Amino acid sequence: MGQAMLGAGGSMQLARIFGIRIGASPSWLIFLFLLIWALSGFFESILPDVSQTVSYATAVAGALLFFVSIALHELGHALAARRAGIDVTGIDLWVFGGLAKLSRDSETPGEELRIAIAGPLVTAALMLICGGTTALFAGDATPGELLSGDADTNPALALVAWLALVNAVLLVFNLLPGFPLDGGRIARAIVWHFTGDRARATRFAGRLGQGLAWLLMGAGLYLLLQGDGLGGLWMLVLGWFLSQGARGAVVAGEFSRRIEGVTAADLMDADPITVPADTTALAAQDEFFADRHPLAWLPVTDQTGRLLGMLAARAVEDAVAHGRPALEAAELAEDAAEAAVTGDTPLEALLSSEPLRRLGALAVVDGEGRLRGLVTVDRIRRLLATPV
């Protein structure tokens, strides 16, 4: 469980809360059925006085509420991210829990800490609510006695006690200090705060996660040798999953270190092709487009070099096709606001730029709006492909 940067991936929608899509992957359905099957036997063993139908219904409720708990945990992350100004495209549930999909990474240690800790706070609240409810109605029986079958109980009380236990386990597991768990993100925020270096903090949290993953896989191997095949296999798979996420964090930290300090001014073509503001659509089609330039648009500038907008090849073709070849580039140009950056824009911000992905290039302007160059996807790719 944790947060993930925005990425592709198919899932079916289950609900929408506060405008945030809650979805589930196919692996979630498989695990849901396996969990219902396991809980059916469990509740049947501790509820001997009820029918199999009631035990099964309790198991279904338990499995669904388990994933509701995970969804609420991720919703805590999502709402904290939204409050920090980060777009949240959705939450996906899958076999290992859930992921809140965020449009960007945290920009400060405080922001990282607030987002990372929001999920565990929700889980802690659920644990306290369920635990308090259990204590209120269980009389002298402890939750352990209720869940072991050593005390009389009923389906509702057994379900609430189980939810208290499972949320306690989720809380402890998520706070383990290893990336990509929430505890690893909290550790990253702390190291980031004291060192001022996000890349270093990310590598540190990733290595903690790798160590934790090896411990889990070692525990899984031990369980296998002790004859606990299901538990051992689960620990091995969980450890492998954590190792992949942790390795990704280490690689991301190394990548951030490599691109640190690189800005749009370092990458831009300082002598880009520009279209004068008074160029007609017909002249623009003949002189600047017509397969002469790889970009789908070009910047339009006035006599002082100030950026007026972006002239798209499509707009030029439409003007000529509809009998308006004399329209000038300044009239046809689209607003340049979303396609313009300043020279000090870091490469990391460029890599997450949606306009750059969509348009293929961004205009670099100075403080007075004058065009200074173009940053293209091709130039960024060449930089990233250059060996260190």
Q: What is the mean pLDDT of residues 172-179?
A: 88
Model confidence band, residue 292 (pLDDT cutoffs 50, 70, 90): low
- pLDDT attached to residue 255: 61
Query: Given a cut of 60, is residue 115 above it in pLDDT?
Result: yes
- pLDDT attached to residue 289: 79
Please provide the average confidence, as pLDDT, over all residues in the chain: 84
Model confidence band, residue 138 (pLDDT cutoffs 50, 70, 90): confident
Q: Which of 89-98, 273-282, 300-309 has the weakest average pLDDT? A: 89-98
**Torsion-angle region of residue 364: left (phi > 0), alpha (psi -120 to 50) or beta?**
beta
pLDDT digits (tens, 9 = 90+) for 14-57: 888 888 888 888 878 888 888 899 899 899 988 888 888 999 99
- pLDDT attached to residue 262: 78
Prediction pTM value: 0.69
pLDDT digits (tens, 9 = 90+) for 159-172: 999 999 999 999 99
Which residue has better confidence, 269 or 77?
77
- Which positions ≥6 away from 41 have C-beta within 8 Å? none
Cβ-contact 251, 203 below 8 angstroms = no
CA distance 342 to 299: 15
Model confidence band, residue 4 (pLDDT cutoffs 50, 70, 90): very low
Cβ-contact 153, 47 below 8 angstroms = yes
Which residue has better confidence, 252 or 177?
177
Of 24, 7, 151, 156, the residue nearest 97 (C-alpha)? 24
Which residue has better confidence, 252 or 280?
280
Cβ-contact 182, 2 below 8 angstroms = yes
Model confidence band, residue 6 (pLDDT cutoffs 50, 70, 90): very low
**% the chain with pLDDT above 70:** 91
The tokens for 91 are 């939450």
- pLDDT attached to residue 258: 64
